[in-house]
């Protein structure tokens, strides 16, 4: 068991960031291993100082930080140990500069890549195979930075590989220059944004991974152990406060995911720093970041954490939170051991015999492109392995989907059989309301209370009132009285077409004929039956 190595690095003051409280009296006092908050006039403020393995002031270079914290990890990785180094801190505190650096002062990642290949070349008794990958966690989605097609990759776990990202592209490399070119490609695909505190703020966590396989030279016995080690170099996005960064819209949504994942990382560190009996469940699965870094936090890995901090007084609370995180991380212990594999799970073992045969065939040709041919064959074979894993994963998903459909069909069949075997009788219901609810509704029945019924034809035919005195001559006043004031143009009259009456209207037709006879007798009375 060994403790996680924790270092704190203070960046130089940022002249572009105006302190909203000028003339402040508090500042951080930095020693080799100690950080204390002091009052410029009164001295140290109440509270115990923070003590770490290493503390770097604003004058420290990336070379010094790398040599003190990370260089020993490279030798351990080449010897078969897993190793992880990551930067943690608030936004604009110098994490990306510490990990990537600049042309004048390269950061931890490029220096580690060169040291790996330098150490491999100096190891004469072993043969090495190195492959690299580069991923980011953006809004809780894993993206492959080496290819645009690698988006929303899932996390898998098995006995041979442990926790891994399925579908992640891995490139077999044989020089530091190849790796640095891949890193430049990944930086182009990485998510950055502009905030009030940083002109190029990281909007995602990035994980650069090197997998190193090695075996003893001149031995091809299948029982020889293969060492497989993993080096993780992690650049975490910084925690943010919206009132300082001024983020909104997409940037605000990114900040929410970043702060949430960092909170989950802090919860894991808190649990691991507790006493073993009180520790309980470790919430690795609460975020994808802690799930991928699970072996580095309390597992089989040598881990170093570099916590970056801002010296300005306006950031004192954020810096205090970073130092508390670093203090808890210093209490976490890992159990690192050499990873030796005796099965064919190692890629190097599966390729070794074929490569040896190829070397023998090309040994007499003195071909300058021998190493390139071998590298190409290794890459082709590795891509075939990745394709096979992808197809196996898709096949497993199809199998699960088919089982789900078969189970659903079985359940539906059982329900249908249950309906066929079930008979419902009126004796089963004691309440008439329940029985009425099962009856088919009668749509022809209409309640009397809601519809007012009216006959289509009226039985009483309206007629003009009879005049009191009838003479033999019909005057205009008589016609007006008989027609209720209506004047009829006889030239415009036309015959009404005959209508077919239904049997149900016979009674109404009889009433009409009766009215017509009555009018006829009336005219007979008026004109005395002459020439009508």
Residue 137: pLDDT above 70? Answer: yes
Instruction: Tell me if residue 254 falls in helix, strand or coil.
Output: helix
Confidence of residue 396 (pLDDT cuts 50, 70, 90): confident
The C-alpha angle with vertex 382 and arms to 377 and 388, in degrees rounded to 5, equals 130
Instruction: Tell me if residue 415 falls in helix, strand or coil.
Output: helix
Instruction: Give one DSSP letter per residue of 174-201, joined into a string.
Output: SSHHHHHHHHHHHHHHS-EE--SS-TTE
The answer to whether 361 is a known ligand-binding residue is no
The answer to whether 278 is a known ligand-binding residue is no
In terms of pLDDT, which residue wins out, 167 or 358?
167
In terms of pLDDT, which residue wins out, 31 or 304?
304
* pLDDT tens profile 175-224: 999 999 999 999 999 988 888 787 888 899 999 999 999 988 876 555 56
The answer to whether 455 is a known ligand-binding residue is no
The answer to whether 93 is a known ligand-binding residue is yes
* pLDDT tens profile 359-379: 777 665 555 566 677 777 777
Q: Residue 504: its pLDDT value, please?
A: 47
Q: State pTM to two decimals.
A: 0.67
* pLDDT tens profile 320-350: 999 999 999 999 999 999 988 766 656 666 5
The answer to whether 90 is a known ligand-binding residue is yes
Region of residue 15 (left: phi > 0; alpha: psi -120 to 50; beta: else) = alpha
The answer to whether 91 is a known ligand-binding residue is yes
Instruction: Tell me if residue 401 falls in helix, strand or coil.
Output: helix
Sequence-distant (≥ 6) Cβ neighbours of residue 151 within 8 angstroms: 141, 143, 144
Per-residue three-class SS string for 107-133? CHHHHHHHHHHHHHHHCCCEEEEEEEE
CATH for the 2-350 domain, from 3.40.50.920, 3.90.1150.10, 3.30.70.580, 3.40.850.10: 3.40.850.10
- Here the tokens at position 284 are 């690795």
* pLDDT tens profile 54-75: 999 999 999 999 999 999 999 9
CB 179 within 8 A of CB 113: yes
Question: Counting every residue, how long is the chain?
Answer: 532
Q: Number of helices and strands (H, E) in the chain?
A: 15, 20
Q: What are phi and psi of 164, to 5 degrees?
A: -150, 165
The answer to whether 201 is a known ligand-binding residue is no
Residue 285 per-residue DSSP state: G
CA 417/CA 357 separation, integer angstroms? 65
CA 164/CA 153 separation, integer angstroms? 10
Any idea where the domains of the chain sit in the sequence?
2-350, 404-531
* pLDDT tens profile 259-306: 999 999 999 999 998 876 667 789 999 999 999 999 999 899 999 999
The answer to whether 133 is a known ligand-binding residue is no
């Amino acid at each position: 068991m060994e403790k996680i190595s924790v270092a704190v690095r203070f960046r130089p003051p940022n002249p572009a960031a105006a302190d909203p409280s000028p003339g402040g009296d508090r500042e951080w006092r930095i020693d080799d291993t100690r950080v204390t908050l002091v009052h410029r006039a009164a001295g140290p403020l109440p509270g115990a100082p923070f003590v770490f393995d290493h503390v770097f002031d604003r004058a420290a270079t990336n070379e010094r930080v790398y040599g003190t914290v990370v260089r020993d990890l490279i030798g351990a990785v080449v010897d078969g140990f897993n190793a992880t180094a990551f930067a943690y801190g608030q936004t604009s505190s110098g994490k990306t500069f510490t990990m990537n650096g600049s042309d004048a002062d390269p950061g931890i990642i490029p220096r580690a890549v060169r040291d790996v290949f330098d150490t491999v070349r100096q190891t004469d008794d072993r043969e090495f195979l190195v492959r690299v990958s580069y991923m980011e966690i953006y809004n809780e989605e894993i993206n492959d930075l080496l290819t645009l097609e690698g988006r929303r990759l899932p996390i898998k776990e098995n006995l041979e590989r442990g926790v891994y990202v399925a579908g992640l592209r891995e490139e077999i490399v044989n020089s530091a220059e190849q790796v640095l070119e891949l890193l430049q490609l990944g930086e182009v695909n990485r998510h950055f944004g502009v905030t009030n505190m940083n002109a190029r703020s990281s909007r995602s966590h990035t994980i650069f991974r090197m997998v190193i396989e090695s075996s003893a030279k001149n031995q091809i016995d299948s029982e020889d152990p293969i060492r497989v080690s993993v080096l993780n170099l992690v650049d975490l996005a910084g925690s943010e406060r919206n009132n300082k960064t001024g983020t909104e819209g997409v940037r605000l949504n990114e900040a929410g995911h970043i702060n949430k994942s960092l909170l989950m990382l802090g919860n894991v560190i808190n649990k691991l720093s507790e006493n073993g009996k009180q520790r309980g469940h470790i919430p690795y699965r609460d975020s994808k970041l802690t799930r991928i870094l699970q072996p580095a936090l309390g597992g089989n890995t040598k881990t170093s954490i570099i916590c970056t901090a801002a010296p300005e007084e306006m950031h004192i609370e954020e810096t205090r939170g970073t130092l508390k995180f670093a203090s808890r991380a210093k209490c976490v212990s890992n159990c690192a051991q050499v990873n030796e594999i005796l099965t064919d799970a190692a890629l190097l073992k599966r390729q070794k015999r074929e490569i040896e045969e190829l070397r023998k065939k090309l040994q007499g040709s003195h071909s300058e492109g021998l190493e390139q041919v071998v590298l190409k064959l290794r890459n082709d074979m590795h891509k075939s392995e990745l394709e096979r894993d992808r197809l196996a994963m898709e096949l497993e998903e199809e199998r699960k989907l088919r089982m789900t459909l078969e189970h659903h069909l079985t359940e539906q069949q059982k329900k249908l059989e249950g309906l066929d075997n079930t008979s419902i009788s009126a004796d089963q219901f004691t309440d008439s309301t329940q029985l009425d609810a099962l009856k088919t509704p009668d749509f022809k029945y209409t309640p009397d209370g809601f519809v007012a019924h009216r006959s289509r034809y009226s039985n009483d035919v309206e007629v003009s009132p009879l005049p009191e005195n009838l003479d033999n001559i019909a005057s205009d006043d008589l016609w007006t009285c008989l027609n209720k004031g209506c004047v009829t143009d006889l030239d415009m009259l036309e015959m009404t077409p005959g209508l077919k009456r239904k049997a149900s209207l016979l009674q109404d037709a009889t009433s009409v004929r009766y009215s017509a006879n009555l009018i006829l007798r009336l005219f007979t009375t008026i004109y005395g039956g002459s020439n009508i």
